[in-house]
Copies of this chain bind each other. A is one copy, B any other.
Amino acid sequence: MSETKGTRVVVVGGGFAGLATASRLAKEPVQVLLLDRKNHHTFQPLLYQVATAGLSPAEIAAPLRSIVSDRGNTEVLLCEVSGFDLERKIVFACGAEVPFDYLVVAAGARHSYFGHDEWERLAPGLKTVEDALEMRRRILTAFEDAERQAALHGHHDDLNFVIVGGGPTGVELAGTISEIARQALVDDFHSIDPKRTRVILVEAGPRVLATYPPDLSQSAEEQLKKLGVEVRTNTRVTAVKEHEIDMDNEVLPTAVTLWAAGVAASPLGRALGQPVDNAGRVPVFPDCTLPGHPEVFVLGDLAAFKDEQGKMLPGVAPVALQMGKYAAECIVADLQRQPRKPFHYNDRGSLATIGRAAAVAQFPKFKLTGYPAWLAWLFIHILFLIGFRNRILVMIEWAWSYFTYDRGARLITDEVGRLRERRSSPDSEVPGPVPMESVERRRA
């Protein structure tokens, strides 16, 4: 490590937290290396729009390189991180040893099937662009299959869409699929019987949107029902099968089952060598660092952070964004030999959308439901979308689909049939430590 090269900050994960850290450090005298196994940041709050064919992947995802391209101190590498050696201050990544002065681990979460991993194949979750494309393929293919069956044979199987989990993602998916079934696709599928097309939202707890106040849950449930969604609360799923779902008191045939019920933190949490909680999250100190490692931050969905009232912070984008910025500020404070302040989450409110012009919103001083909540949701999400270009395109898409009921991204593409081989990476031999000089910008 050469003194003149400055402090080396390695960020694992290009989600909200990791990008916020890199952003806040852009003008500081540090070198940032951002590692992610995807080449793009995914705007997860809008993934359900890709899953339901309202938006294209490129409208809610942006290449990490183009996000950081104007920052002279940030390098991006497409890389799978396999582990850490915190004592030697090393990240094992792409078969190399990458040294750090500060480490920011913000690797996010995947969905969890509560010990039933075999359900994933039958009921995919929604965390990545690929997940969303898979959901889109299943939803559209189900309509096509029913249409073909009805056209050729005069009838079709029950076209039941079952969404497991009544959190924000489950509510968004159920509301939007019901809208597609009842409005937008009526024009296109002439043989499908609307009466045999149902959308069922299953929630194990007593109400949907359990993290919201009860009256907003109530409103959400009413708005869902108005859209034609059947809401089953207090209902546990006991088995997910091929074209069938078993619940406490009911067995339903299914065309598509989608999973929005649980999340588990990235396995990289365990790789830090500290105890993790039931959801795989890493308990952190009030400054978001690991015990005994003030130079190692764990952020976002991967962190188990209890606020001043002992309440666990939820795995949502605002928490991740604020944590990311906070970690960067801690690093800056260290460099300036200032004390770190503890992290405080500034909860500006929560919004959940339900469908076209339907939503609930909870702000610190007031609540909204229905159309006003939806407008608030729309503008906040567009404002937060990364990249001016995406903002414009998303606005056009939405304006278009709002006025025409058209869902423009309604393509079924399937790459599974494509033969493909990954280029075997010459990085697979493990070389020695990497001097940071070599990851400097050549043009600098």
Contacts and interface: CB of A to CB of B under 8 A. Distances in A.
A189 B134 contact: no
Contact of A412 (B39, B137, B426): B39
Given A431-B152, A431-B153, A411 B129 contact: yes
B423 A141 contact: yes
Nearest to A419: B121
A377 to B, nearest CB: 23
Q: How large is the interface on A (under 10, 10 to 19, 20 to 34, 35 or more residues)?
A: 35 or more
A191 to B, nearest CB: 6
A129 B413 contact: yes
A87 interface: no
A141 to B, nearest CB: 7
Interface string A136-160: 0100111011011111111001000
A145 to B, nearest CB: 6
Copies in the complex: 2
A38 B415 contact: no
Given A120-B419, A420-B416, A443 B75 contact: no
Contacts of A153: 96, 427, 431, 434, 438
A134 B415 CA distance: 8
A409 interface: yes
Nearest to A190: B441
Which 5 pairs across A and B sit closest by C-beta, in order of nearness?
A: A65-B188, A78-B144, A190-B441, A58-B409, A121-B419
A442 interface: yes
A69 B147 CA distance: 14
Contact of A396 (B57, B393, B443): B393
A40 B148 contact: no
A346 interface: no
Interface string A50-68: 0000001111010101100
A408 B412 CA distance: 21
Contacts of A444: 190
A410 B63 contact: yes
A52 to B, nearest CB: 13
A39 B410 contact: yes
